[in-house]
Structure 1
Amino acid sequence: MSSTISVISAMPWRPQSRPLSLAIVAGLACALALGKALPSTMDAVSGALAPLCANAAEGSPLDKVEPIGSYALPNVPGKRVTIVRVTYGPGGFSRPHRHAGSVTAYITKGEIRSQLGGGPVETFTVGQSFFEPPGSTHLVSANASNTEPAELIAVFVADEGAQLTTFIN
């Protein structure tokens, strides 16, 4: 775990970076176990996570995206798993976007509102998760509270080198 932390702390993250979206968690325990089992280099991690630093949040100065890790999947050539922690301050949100690959989100604090495509707006609480198929339009990604923070762990599975998030104008 310490090698993952040192790689992440050496990355050039800007404190004013905002979350790009909440889209992704296929199980924190599984992701952390995978993180310990697979090696990665600083270049690979920073290249895969660079699209996550876009100025995506507009609702709270406390919104942020923290990289946890990014690893090539040796049993699925050309694919990579990328794990991030998305924190929304009170009233925080990300503007509409879509992701290149599959995303699973697992709520670890508070409540998150989410809407994919033309579907209903749903609210997810601690311990719940949701899935975004590749190319889905994520119209609502927001903290459901204006007074308490919210947090999720997002796990992306996408093509190696893909831009993970594209914002919709």
Structure 2
Amino acid sequence: MTAMSSSAVQRPAPSHSTAFAVVAGLAFALAISKALPMTMDTVSGALAPLCANAADGSPLDKVEPIGSYALPNVPGKRVTIVRVSYGPGGFSRPHRHAGSVTATITKGEIRSQLGGGPVETFGVGQSFFEPPGSTHLVSANASATEPAELIAVFVADEGAQLTTFLE
């Protein structure tokens, strides 16, 4: 058995838009974490309403907390960052979020519809914005065969329930 050097392994290069989105997200998270760090136990507690029953479309659907930080220059507000992964055909039930949400697609394509607006499809590197109180009627993987993923950044009141599912 011969050892293979790590330089012999070939990996596809990430696209520029994906690399930019990842670097920008990490820089943003690092900058805010310097302002006021928070433990992941606290983040998980704040995200519990977001993660509970987040999607019914695929067993591969999940919401993972990345971080949550008080905004020192905006008393009473918090920024929370999560990764939403949808398996093939995955989706979230209609819902509403507290505060504002900006989402950036990091893998695959996501279909989204707010209120009475059109259903739109967003690809890697694209983003969409949800104003406070918007009804998110469609949030789904546009593919029945490939996974999709987005990073969502919430800005909401401290202690707010980030996601409320509609009946």
Q: TM-score, normalised by structure 2?
A: 0.81
Do 2:40 and 2:67's aligned partners in 1 also have CA atoms closer than 8 Å?
no
Deviations 1:28-61 (A, max 9, x none): 2443223542311345323321212211211111
1:114-142 deviation line (CA, Å, top 9, x unaligned): 00000000000000000000000000000
Structure 2 SS opposite 1:61: coil
Contact 1:47 1:161 in 2 (8 A): no
Over the matched positions of the two proteins, sequence identity in percent amounts to: 86
1:8 match? none
- 1:105 matched to 2:74? The reply is no
Provide the alpha-carbon RMSD of the alignment: 1.4
CA distance in 2, matches of 1:70, 1:112: 24
Aligned counterpart for 1:124 among listed residues 119, 122, 135: 122
1:31 to 22, 28, 31: 28
Deviation digits for residues 50-90 of structure 1, max 9, x if unmatched? Answer: 21221121111100011100000000000000000000000
Task: Give the TM-score, by structure 1 length.
Answer: 0.80
Q: Give the counterpart of 1:153 among 151, 154, 164.
A: 151
Q: Which runs of 4+ in 1 moved over 3 A?
A: 41-44
* Paired letter, 1:33: L
1:42–1:28: structure 2 CA closer, same or farther, 3 Å change rule? closer
Max Rg structure: 2
SS in 1 for 2:149: strand
Taking the aligned partners of 2:66 and 2:54, their CA distance within structure 1 comes to: 18
Corresponding pairs, count: 143
The separation in 2 between residues aligned to 1:117 and 1:134, in whole angstroms, is 12
Mapped pair 1:92 → 2:77: no
The aligned residue for residue 58 of structure 1 is 56
AA at the equivalent of 1:143: N
Question: 1:124, 1:42 → 2: CA distance?
Answer: 30
CA contact (8 A) 2:99 2:154 kept: yes
Structure 1 residues 96-130: Cα deviation after superposition (integer angstroms, max 9, x where no partner): 00001100000000000000000000000000000
Partner residue of 1:20?
A: none
Aligned to 2:20: none
Supply the distance in 1 between the matched residues of 2:101 and 2:64 (Cα, whole angstroms): 16
